[in-house]
Amino acid sequence: MKSVAIVGLGWLGVPLAKHLQHLGWEVKGSKRTHEGVEQMRLFGIETYHLELTPEINADPDDLTLLFSVDALVINIPPSQYFFDMTQYILGIENVLNEALLHGVQQVIFISSTSVFPEVSGQFDESILPQPTSLTAKGLYEIEQRLLACQHIHMDIIRFAGLVGEGRHPVHTLSKRENVVGGNQPVNLVHLDDCARAIQLLLETPSFQRVYHLSAPIHPTKQDYYTYCAEKLGINVPHFISSDQAPQRIILGDKICHELGFVYQYPDPKMMI
């Protein structure tokens, strides 16, 4: 039985843990609070307390149990923390170093396609990111540091906008008027596809790899969110289109060509 630790049992981490458990994996995880640990244990997930300050705040025996696994998924978005990006980067490095000390052989870091700027173009994994926001710059710096690790299987997976499990942008947009960029393409990916892609990477370790995950169909914001709002019976957002709006498309087919991945939700309209 293969084993994996998921540092960050949140909106993505919990469904991922359940998915892998269903497939027969031994799954462990971490939460920032002791209350969160107890809740996850009630869900049947072996969970330990781990907080980044950016030093690792955890019981040494718990760390040994948590990192006594074949693989590690680092799923800690910077938005969860109240310190600056420099400390966030140090926190991720501390998690990596602890995993290496305990002999973890494979690491998957959950990143974001936000490392690419909001400009027109088609962005696949061969394009050099040019992050503009502090968060995106921090993510890209972490990616570079992790990929510099030579003697371990290291995967970076960049997700487009996440949808699923009660999370969909249309609920926020339906409350707004004059939403700009109505003619811009959407770049979305469903939670279930994210879990399946991580599973595939865990099953096929192969040193340093970078993959995008984004549904291959990219309707415009106006067409897509109008459809979603009408489908859900909520207010239809009012969009403003502009010829100057960036036509930014994230390409996520490399994982399909190289590893045989198939999107269960290739069309965002299937995600509603």
**Tell me: the pLDDT tens digits for 114-135?**
999 999 999 999 999 999 999 9
Statement: residue 82 has pLDDT above 60: no
CB count in 10 Å sphere of residue 259: 15
Residue with tokens 């600056």: 84
pLDDT digits 0-9 by tens, 187-241: 999 999 999 999 999 999 999 999 999 999 999 999 999 999 999 999 988 999 8
- Give residue for tokens 């309209």: 269
The conformational region for residue 253 under phi > 0 = left, psi -120 to 50 = alpha, else beta, is alpha
Residue 177: pLDDT band with limits 50, 70, 90: confident
> How large is the average pLDDT for residues 65-74?
97
CATH architecture of 3-167+188-218+249-271: 3-Layer(aba) Sandwich (3.40)
Q: Give the pTM.
A: 0.95
Report the mean per-residue pLDDT for the chain.
94
The reported pLDDT for the residue numbered 130 is: 93
Region of residue 102 (left: phi > 0; alpha: psi -120 to 50; beta: else): alpha
What is the Cα–Cα distance from 257 to 237, expressed in whole angstroms?
36
Q: How far apart are the first and last CA of the chain?
A: 35
Specify the 3-state DSSP secondary structure of 20.
helix
Residue from 237, 243, 233, 244 nearest 221 by CA: 237
Tokens 């960036």, residue located: 246
Q: Are strands 106-112 and 51-52 parallel, antiparallel or unpaired?
A: unpaired
The pLDDT of residue 81 is above 80 = no
In the chain, where the domains are located: 3-167+188-218+249-271
Structure tokens at 130: 């040019």
Contact 213, 189 (CB under 8 A): yes
Q: Cα 159 to chain center, whole Å?
A: 5
DSSP bridge partners of 5: 28, 72
pLDDT score of 175 = 79
Q: 34 phi and psi, to 5 degrees? A: -70, -30
Residue type, 85: M
Q: Report the C-alpha gap between 16 and 195 in whole angstroms.
A: 5
11-39: average pLDDT = 96
The Cα 10–Cα 15 span in angstroms is 9
Question: How far is Cα 194 from Cα 213, in angstroms, rounded to an integer?
Answer: 7
Classified as helix, coil or strand, 86 is: helix
